[in-house]
Amino acid sequence: MPTDTVRLVSVGMWTPARVMTNAELEGMVDTTDEWIVERTGIRERRIADDDVGVVEMGYRAAQDALERARLEPSAVDAIIVSTATPDRLLPATACDIEARLATGGAVAFDVWGACSGWLYALNIARGLIASGQIETALCIASEKMSAITDWTDRATCVLFADAAGAAVVQRAEEDGRGILASYMRSDGALAELLHRRPIGSSSVPVDVAELAVRDGHLRMAGREVFKNAVRSMCEAVDAVLEQAGVAKDEIDILVPHQANIRIIEATAKYAGLPMERVWVNVDRYGNTSSATIPVALYEAREAGRIQDGSLVLMVTFGAGLTWAGTLLRW
């Protein structure tokens, strides 16, 4: 079947009810609300209960997306999950979500792209659809960053949080709408800037002594990541606009990865967009890794800021280092 176009049919999301404010963090580490707001733009974030994992979160976001698309799980051909915080390392989180949805055999696999993972998933779905292998994909990001956060490390614990988002992606007739351009890159030489010690992996098998050390938490060289983030997101802006032959001033809305308001502002400035044309929710959710973009997309759509025909630019970066961009006409 010829490829017409690949479209996001719907977006769903799920966030925990529990809100953690900056004031609460002031009681946990040596920090202040003022520092966090000024340096990051974050005011509060959502933290999942201990018994709620990424399968549950991703499943709820996926259900929301399917309901909005008015599709049954049996219509899904592929489930692609981005997570940096799987409930378990084997099998893939996508398989556990497949079991919950009961699609009747959709291929299900995970993408390890850290914060870039959801745009990677979207691009993989685009490729599978374009090559005629599938018709409908569920691209899910589900992240429980609170589970890998060192709650004694003020440099990271004020930043990360939990959320899930999902989109139904489908083949559609070409009418100028759909995904127009995709860009993906990585630089493994910068992996140590944002990483976890490999506890429970093949190189450091789990044993009781290792677990007692409790040092499998996320570690980050924030300032270096910051510099690379701005550079790589700007590169992604240029790459997708060039691919699609679109000028910066044609963009209706920028939906960037929500890591830090200063990174978002720098990217918007580079893209020549006033902040009124940028969706920002880092103040309410913090950095939820690859879930930030689908959650932001959902909110922007619900708020009427993304209309049918809107030109939407999404850019992201994360551990790896990885970075990516997607341009679509809704």
Does 115 sit near ligand UT7 (CB under 6 A)? yes
Name the one range near ligand UT7 by CB under 6 A: 34-42, 118-126, 130-138, 232-240. Answer: 34-42
The single residue among 9, 31, 266, 305 that binds ligand UT7, judged by CB under 6 A, is: 31
Distance from C-alpha of 193 to C-alpha of 178, rounded to nearest angstrom = 35
In the complex, what is the shortest distance from the CB of residue 237 to ligand UT7, in angstroms, rounded to a whole number?
Answer: 17
Q: Which of residues 299-318 bind ligand UT7 (CB under 6 A)?
A: 318
The four Cα atoms 11, 50, 217, 322 give a dihedral, to 10 degrees, of -10
Q: Which of the residues 228, 257, 260, 281 is marked catalytic?
A: 257
Q: How, if at all, do strands 162-172 and 136-144 pair?
A: antiparallel
Catalytic, 95? Answer: no
Within 10 Å of residue 132's Cβ, how many Cβ atoms? 11
Q: Are 299 and 291 a contacting pair, CB within 8 Å? A: no
Catalytic residue, candidates 115, 139, 157, 234: 115
Nearer to ligand UT7, 45 or 329 (CB): 45
35 binds ligand UT7 (CB under 6 A): yes
Residue 140 binds ligand UT7, judged by CB under 6 A: no
Among 40, 82, 83, 136, binds ligand UT7 (CB under 6 A): 40
Q: Does residue 257 have an active-site annotation? A: yes
User: What is the distance, to the nearest Å, from the Cα of residue 108 to the centroid of all Cα atoms in its chain?
Assistant: 18
Q: Which of 39, 100, 185, 277 binds ligand UT7 (CB under 6 A)?
A: 39
Q: Contact at 8 Å (CB) between 95 and 151?
A: no
- Asked whether the beta carbons of 79 and 63 are under 8 A apart, the reply is no
Task: Tell me how far apart the alpha carbons of residues 125 and 320 are, in angstroms, rounded to a whole number.
Answer: 21
Closer residue to ligand UT7, CB minimum distance, 220 or 237? 220
Q: CA-based Rg of the chain, rounded to a whole angstrom?
A: 19
To the nearest whole angstrom, how small is the minimum distance from the Cβ of residue 25 to ligand UT7?
8
55 with 97: CB under 8 angstroms?
yes
Q: How deeply is 266 buried, as exposed, middle or buried, from its count of CB atoms within 10 A (0-12, 13-18, 19+)?
A: middle
Nearest residue to the partner ligand UT7, using Cβ: 222
Peptide bond into 274 cis (omega under 30): no
Number of residues forming the site for ligand UT7 (CB under 6 A): 20
Smallest separation, CB 194 to ligand UT7 (Å): 6
Binders of ligand UT7 in range 158-217 (CB under 6 A) = 158, 194
Known catalytic residue: 115? Answer: yes
Q: Which of 225, 230, 271, 315 binds ligand UT7 (CB under 6 A)?
A: 225
List the one residue from 8, 11, 141, 259 that touches ligand UT7 (CB under 6 A).
Answer: 259
Identify which of residues 165 and 178 has a Cβ nearer to ligand UT7 in the complex: 165
Q: What is the DSSP string of 65-126?
A: HHHHHT--GGG--EEEEE-SS-SSSSS-HHHHHHHHHT-SS-EEEEE--GGGHHHHHHHHHH
The residue ranges that bind ligand UT7 (CB under 6 A) are 31, 35-36, 39-40, 115, 154-155, 158, 194, 220, 222-223, 225-226, 229, 259-260, 287, 318
Catalytic residues: 115, 257, 287
